[in-house]
């Protein structure tokens, strides 16, 4: 996530952020927890600047997810099984699309 120098710290993005990860601190826009950003772009829509002064960015070859466990399986096994399920579902979608 980047904040350009043309940000005037109006706070519109702070009010719009559903994750509440933005804050005006010391007269400047501060990102409290970049990992909590879901890239919903509500901050971009709320920014009155053109182009917007804030830009959440996706890194194309990476993604962040959170894992919760009851403890019955090790986290690595949960991820492995989830990846296999995702692969199977993606193959079905591709097959349905003729690819």
Question: Mean per-residue pLDDT for 1-10?
Answer: 93
pLDDT score, position 19: 96
Nearest to 16 by CA among 35, 27, 6, 29: 29
**CA distance to 68, 76, 77, 78, per residue, from 72 (Å):** 11, 12, 10, 10
Give 48-82 pLDDT, tens digit per residue: 999 999 998 876 777 767 788 899 999 999 999 99
- Confidence at residue 38, expressed as pLDDT on a 0 to 100 scale: 87
Q: Is the pLDDT of residue 99 over 80?
A: no
Q: What is the mean pLDDT of residues 18-43?
A: 93
Q: Are 65 and 38 in contact, with CB atoms under 8 Å apart?
A: no
For the whole model, what pTM was predicted? Answer: 0.61
Q: What percent of the chain has pLDDT over 70?
A: 95
Domain regions of the chain by residue span: 2-55, 65-99
Mean pLDDT across the chain? 91
Instruction: Write down the CATH number for the domain with range 2-55.
Output: 3.30.70.20
């Amino acid at each position: 996530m980047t904040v350009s120098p043309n940000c005037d710290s109006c706070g519109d993005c702070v009010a719009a952020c559903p994750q509440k990860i933005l804050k005006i601190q010391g007269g400047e826009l501060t990102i409290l927890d970049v990992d909590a950003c879901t890239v919903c772009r509500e901050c971009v829509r709320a920014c009155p600047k053109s182009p917007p002064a804030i830009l959440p960015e996706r890194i194309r070859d990476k993604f962040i997810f959170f894992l919760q466990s009851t403890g019955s399986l090790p986290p690595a096994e949960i991820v492995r099984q989830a990846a296999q399920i995702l692969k199977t579902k993606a193959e079905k979608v591709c097959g349905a699309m003729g690819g």
